[in-house]
């Protein structure tokens, strides 16, 4: 290696170490994350930074040139890479369009950096960034890579538009993210390592450093989304089922030994006949409320209802006759549709239209359902599922039935749901998976007719 190259390599290492120390002094809650990557030159990286989740590879000449132009640019680039790992972006890339996923990840991370009010991270105001953030926040409360990626898919941008956005948000090289042929076990271990780092950071922000870590809210919001466990929406809906008898042979309620012995002894006369009914849990009285305020997308509401429809009508949960009320509400009740059987449910789905568009107030739904209950509209109301973005006015008093607020994205930390409410964050891929699993159990549902989320 030439002497000049050696000098640049050493200079690049010193620049990164300085950036790491400066970030630690300003953001002590990221201490574990900032020291979780080894620093090495090379790795096939030129004019950028790159990581495989274990090592941060750098190019000395790139860092020297960038440091001379802007010291904060180096600090931002270092933290940009760290945040990718904390949010486990490299390991979520599989199965997604690489170009759009990389752009979504860069945009999500840059939104965090722009929300951190520290001189060492001050990148100035970039109009193109602010415009993109504003457009995204119109659809999602927290700018996550997953949410931005879904938006980019829907927009179906022209190649030159994607290239323009890439120039705005690009800060590192993603060439080492989940490369072909890499050891699966090694990748799993690296992802688990960063999940542990994220969980420790989250715990620190929520406890010891709560209210003291300036700007940490932007990091915490994203970590909460990344650490969210997958939710089984089908299993969740079953909690609203009630026991009832159904006309079906109960194979578990009699002894097969006596049954077969009778057939052997008398030819066609079993000693024990199986019961013709069995007890199962089915959903009967149920309320689905839909937030139709301006912050809720009509397309997402239709997708949610379609998936819920597929799950409810599966043979595991749905009775032949039901008593479901589907309410649409923003700051007042806009529609109330009773559903008595499968055909009515299918007809509602086929002719569904969103009604409303004002501010969000959850209280009218609870008052209205209590009024229906008092009038005898329900026999045994077990629960209410409210599809919303979570931003609105909540009732102070706990209702006499279980209530779940279903969200597609983690709401901002500023949104305080009442302690009695069940908060269920189900991203659209999880809804889609639940609907398809339900459809596979019910031959009456065509998988190709389900919405592509």
* Confidence label for 451 from pLDDT (cuts 50, 70 and 90): very low
Alpha carbon distance 396, 418 (integer Å): 7
pLDDT at 122 > cutoff 50: yes
More confident residue, 437 or 339: 339
In 242-390, where do the E strands start and end? 242-247, 277-291, 318-329, 333-341, 383-387
- Token readout for 57 is 């590879």
Alpha carbon distance 340, 283 (integer Å): 12
Tell me the domains of the chain and their CATH numbers.
Answer: 3-226 (no CATH), 233-246+281-449 (3.40.50.410)
Mind listing the pLDDT tens digit for each residue in 44-79? 776 789 999 999 999 888 899 889 988 899 999 999
pLDDT at 96 > cutoff 60: yes
In 342-429, where do the E strands start and end? 383-387, 402-407, 422-425
* Confidence label for 317 from pLDDT (cuts 50, 70 and 90): low
pLDDT at 245 > cutoff 60: no
pLDDT at 187 > cutoff 80: yes
Q: Please name which of 362, 433, 414 lies closest in space to residue 393, comparing C-alpha atoms.
A: 362
216 contact partners, CB below 8 Å, separation of at least 6:
27, 29, 205, 209
| Range with lowest mean pLDDT among 37-51, 223-237, 284-298, 364-378 | 223-237
Token match 């901002």: residue?
Answer: 412
More confident residue, 378 or 438: 378
Contact between 328 and 372 (Cβ < 8 Å): no
| First CA to last CA distance, the chain | 52
What pLDDT score was predicted for residue 179?
63
Mind listing the pLDDT tens digit for each residue in 354-393? 787 778 899 999 999 999 999 999 887 878 989 887 888 8
- DSSP per-residue letters across 284-295: EEEEEEEE-STT
pLDDT at 130 > cutoff 80: yes
Number of H helices, E strands in the chain: 16, 10
What pLDDT score was predicted for residue 282?
61
Mind listing the pLDDT tens digit for each residue in 104-113? 999 999 998 9
pLDDT at 184 > cutoff 60: yes
pLDDT at 329 > cutoff 80: yes
Average of per-residue pLDDT across 220-247: 63
Q: At CA 281, angle to CA 241 and CA 348, rounded to 5? A: 50
Using only C-alpha atoms, the chain has a radius of gyration, in whole angstroms, of 27
């Amino acid at each position: 290696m030439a002497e000049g190259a050696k000098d640049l390599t050493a200079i690049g290492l010193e620049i990164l170490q300085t950036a790491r120390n400066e970030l630690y002094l300003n953001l002590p809650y990221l201490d574990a994350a900032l020291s979780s990557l080894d620093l090495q030159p090379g790795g096939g990286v030129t004019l950028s930074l790159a990581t495989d989740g274990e090592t941060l590879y750098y190019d000395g000449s790139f860092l020297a040139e960038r440091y001379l132009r802007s010291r904060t640019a180096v600090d931002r680039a270092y933290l940009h890479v760290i945040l990718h790992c904390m949010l486990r972006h490299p390991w979520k890339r599989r199965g997604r369009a690489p170009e759009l996923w990389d752009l979504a990840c860069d945009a999500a991370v840059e939104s965090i950096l722009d929300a951190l009010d520290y001189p060492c991270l001050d990148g100035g105001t970039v109009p193109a960034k602010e415009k993109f953030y504003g457009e995204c926040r119109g659809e999602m409360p927290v700018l996550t890579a997953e949410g931005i990626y879904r938006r980019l898919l829907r927009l179906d941008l022209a190649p030159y538009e994607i290239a323009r956005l890439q120039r705005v948000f690009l800060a590192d090289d993603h060439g080492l993210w989940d490369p072909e042929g890499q050891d699966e076990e090694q990748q799993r271990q690296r992802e688990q390592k960063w999940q542990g780092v994220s969980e420790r950071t989250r715990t620190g922000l929520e406890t010891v450093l709560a209210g003291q870590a300036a700007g940490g809210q932007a990091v915490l919001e994203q970590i909460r989304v990344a650490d969210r466990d997958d939710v089984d929406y089908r299993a969740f809906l079953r909690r609203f089922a009630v026991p009832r008898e159904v006309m079906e042979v109960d194979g578990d309620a009699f002894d097969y030994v006596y049954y077969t012995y009778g057939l052997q002894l008398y030819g066609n006369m079993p000693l024990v006949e199986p019961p013709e009914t069995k007890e199962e849990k089915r959903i009967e009285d149920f309320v689905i409320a839909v937030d139709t305020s301006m912050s809720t997308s009509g397309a997402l509401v239709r997708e949610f209802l379609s998936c819920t429809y597929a799950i409810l009508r599966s043979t595991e949960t749905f009775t032949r006759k039901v008593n479901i009320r589907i309410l649409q509400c923003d700051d007042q009740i806009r529609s109330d549709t009773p559903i008595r059987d499968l055909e009515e449910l299918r007809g509602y789905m086929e002719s569904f239209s969103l009604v409303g568009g004002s501010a969000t107030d959850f209280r009218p739904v609870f008052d209205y359902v209590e009024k229906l209950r008092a009038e005898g509209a329900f026999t045994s109301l077990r629960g209410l599922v409210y599809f919303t973005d979570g931003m609105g006015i909540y009732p102070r008093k706990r209702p006499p039935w279980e209530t779940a607020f279903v969200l597609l994205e983690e709401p901002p930390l500023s949104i305080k749901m009442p302690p009695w409410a069940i908060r269920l964050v189900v991203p659209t891929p999880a809804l889609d998976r639940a609907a398809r699993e339900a459809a596979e159990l019910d031959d009456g549902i065509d998988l190709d007719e389900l919405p592509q989320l």
